[in-house]
Structure 1
Amino acid sequence: MPYQWNTTSSTEPLQVLQLWPHQSLPPKAHKWFILGTAVLIALPLLPFLGTVVLWGLLPFLTLAVLGMWYALDRNRHDQRILEILELGPQEARLERHNPHGAVQDWSCNRYWTTVEMHEQGGPVPYYITLRGNGREVEIGAFLSEDERKALYHELSHRIRS
């Protein structure tokens, strides 16, 4: 699962949840995919070597490979999201690091913090929010539906314990 619980063993126990989007294509595989795509596109061009047709097709096929590279690179950049939820004895604090460097922060007294799951009506099914201190913030919207369901039960249990 693309989230992990850590517990510190200091004088004040702190439970830390880190969430991140699933990365199905690691950076090394990204390079191999682009290379494989370029080779597979180049294979049908072999019969056209030395002809004018090659020069007519080459710009479009190059544009296709560059478009694939840009789309995969942009997707990898947009998936650089990290959410950190810290549950201390008195306070719950959520920090979200967005892809472009912006950081969003929310904190609330743990006693007043509530976890809610919106089965419908949110941007995704089984949308999870934390409510407290006059605000409602989302958590884990990038997770899969099953992961959000599991996270909801874990969060509900850990906030109350």
Structure 2
Amino acid sequence: MIFRKRKRSIIRLLLVEDEPLVAFDTEHLLSEQDFEIVATVDRVSDAVATLQAGHDIHLVLVDVRLADGSGIDVARAAGERGIPSLFVTGDCPPEAELVGVGCLYKPFEQRDLLQSIKAIEASRAGKVPRRLPDALRLFSADRGNEAPRVSQTPDATIQQSSVPGRE
């Protein structure tokens, strides 16, 4: 029997993070896992410019609070191009749910970031993710090709719900 890696649908990432150490560690981790980092930027304006340049980007990892504005604006610009955004933040505002696929709460374990990307991939393929990191919250699928709301119950089973505001 031949074993092979599952083909990924999310490979090319835009990283938007204004904390240099977090950006460096995240970029290093993802590169080691064979993701392609299209760009690592620390400003809303640079992220939007990268998106407008027409790069082939599969997912945007974006902090909410950035030096020159909000990651919400980056996610909005990405969404206009059909690119999903995962907020990687310590505090996920309610409006994030309108423009992103989920929030990964800081601080997080490296494996949680990798599992979060896998969960988004599975959700976008119409599958229920096997396991969600405790630090991840995925949002509703009411906006077309985005991830369905998936949450873990106390017994660690996965449920789906499309009711906004319900976990």
Q: State if a TM-score over 0.5 links the two structures.
A: no
Q: Normalising by structure 1, what TM-score?
A: 0.25
TM-score normalised per structure 2? 0.25
Q: Highest relative contact order (Cα 8 Å, sep 6+), 1 or 2?
A: 1
Instruction: Tell which structure's C-alpha radius of gyration is larger.
Output: 1
Considering fraction of residues, name the structure with more helix.
1
Higher strand share: 1
